[in-house]
Amino acid sequence: MNKPHYEEVADGIYCIETGLYRPRLAACYLVREGDRLAFVETGTARSVPRLLAVVSALGLGPETVDYVIPTHVHLDHAGGAGGLMARCPNARLVIHPKGAPHMIDPSKLAAGATTVYGEQEFARHFGTLVPIPAERVIVAEDPTTIDLDRRPLTFIATPGHANHHGCIFDEHTQGWFTGDTFGIAYPELHTPSGPFLFAPTTPVAFDPDAWQKSLDRLMGFDPRAVYLTHYGRVDDPQALEEELRRSIRDLTELALAEEGNEQAGRSERLQKGVAELLLTRVRDQGCTLDEHRIREVLDVDIALNAQGLEVWLARRAEPKPPH
C-alpha cells in the first residue's frame, strides 16, 4: 500500500486516516509513550494494514502495542479491533462492559451492521470481523485508568450516542478522545468562524438526555482539546460545547415533531429534515462551498442520522413495562 497518512497532533498522539469511504471521514489515534503504544479506535477491518504501517513508520513493531481502546463497537470505530489484536500479541482490548461481548463474539454486531448498510456495502467497506479471546479483554468499568509506560489514560462511560460508549482522557495533554460523544467536525466544513460541529444520531441507541449528562462529565475535566474520530484535533472545546448541545436539541425536536405523524413516508421526511437542518447550520457557520459539495461531505451522516432518529421514535412508541 502507499505510504500511510498520519500526523502528530499532540505530544505523542498521532491521528491516522483509516480510509473509510473518503479521506478525512474517519480517524483513529496512536498514543506513544517511550516505546509503548496504545491505539484509540481501530477503523474497520480494512484499516488494519494502515495502522500497522504507522507503527512501522515510527520504528516500532506490533509487539510494542499494549492497548487497543475503541470508544464503542460501531464498525467505523471498532471493526478492526479483532484483526489488529491478532497482529499485536501483547495488546489487551479496553472496552465498555456493554461492548465487550460484541468484541468477543462479533456475530450479532455483523448482523446488525449488515441490516443497516446492506450485505454488499458491509463486505466492501467493513470486511470480516475477527473475534477477540475473552482473556485479552479488559472490561472498563467507570472509571478505569490504564498505565501506558506511566502515562495515565482514563476511560469513562459516556452514553448518549450509544449506550456502550466511553471516552478516554489523556492526562498528559489534557485532551479527550471522544469517539462520537463530542460530535462530528469534518475539516472540509471548517470556516474562519471555527469548526462546523454536529451530533451523530446513528442507529440504534440515541439518548439525548444521557448525552447532555455525558457532556457535563467531559467538560468537568476542563479539557484543552478533543481528538475527534470524525475528524481530527479540535482546540478550545468550551467554545464549541453549546453548539453541540444545540445540535442534540435540534435533532431531538426534529424527531419529536414527527412523532404524531403516520409511519408511511417517515424515513423520507426525517432524511429531508436532517438535510435541511444541517445545510442551514453549515451556511450559518459561514461555509462557502456549493450545496453539491456540502451534500457530498454530509451524505452518509444525513442518512444515518435520519435512521437513528427513526429508531429512537420507534423505541419511544414501545409499551413501557409495568413497574
Domain extent, residue 153, equals: 6-241
* Whether residue 62 sits in one domain with residue 27: yes
* Whether residue 307 sits in one domain with residue 237: no
Q: What is the dihedral of CA 170, 173, 178, 183, to 10 degrees?
A: 170
**Which residues, at least 6 apart from 301, have a Cβ–Cβ distance to it below 8 Å?**
184, 198, 200, 278
Predicted confidence at residue 323, as pLDDT, reads: 61
* Whether residue 81 sits in one domain with residue 196: yes
* Whether residue 18 sits in one domain with residue 30: yes
Classify burial at 300, counting beta carbons within 10 Å of its beta carbon; exposed 0-12, middle 13-18, buried 19 or more.
middle
Predicted confidence at residue 171, as pLDDT, reads: 97
In order along the chain (323 residues), what is the average pLDDT of each group of 10 residues?
82 97 96 98 96 98 98 96 98 98 94 84 90 98 97 98 97 98 97 95 94 98 98 97 98 96 95 97 94 95 96 90 67
Supply the pTM of this predicted model. 0.95
Taking only the tens place, the pLDDT of each residue in 233-292 is: 999 999 999 999 999 999 999 999 999 899 999 999 999 999 999 999 999 999 999 999
Predicted confidence at residue 2, as pLDDT, reads: 55
- Rounded Cα distance between 201 and 162, Å, is 9
Is 10 among the domain residues? yes
Is 311 among the domain residues? yes
Final residue belonging to a domain, choices 212, 241, 270: 241
Predicted confidence at residue 46, as pLDDT, reads: 95
* Whether residue 219 sits in one domain with residue 263: no
Q: How far from the centroid of its chain's Cα atoms is residue 84's Cα?
A: 18
Classify burial at 295, counting beta carbons within 10 Å of its beta carbon; exposed 0-12, middle 13-18, buried 19 or more.
middle
* Whether residue 129 sits in one domain with residue 275: no
Is 274 among the domain residues? yes
SS3 (DSSP) at 58: coil
Is 323 among the domain residues? no
**Domain count along the chain:** 2
* Whether residue 179 sits in one domain with residue 82: yes
Is 1 among the domain residues? no
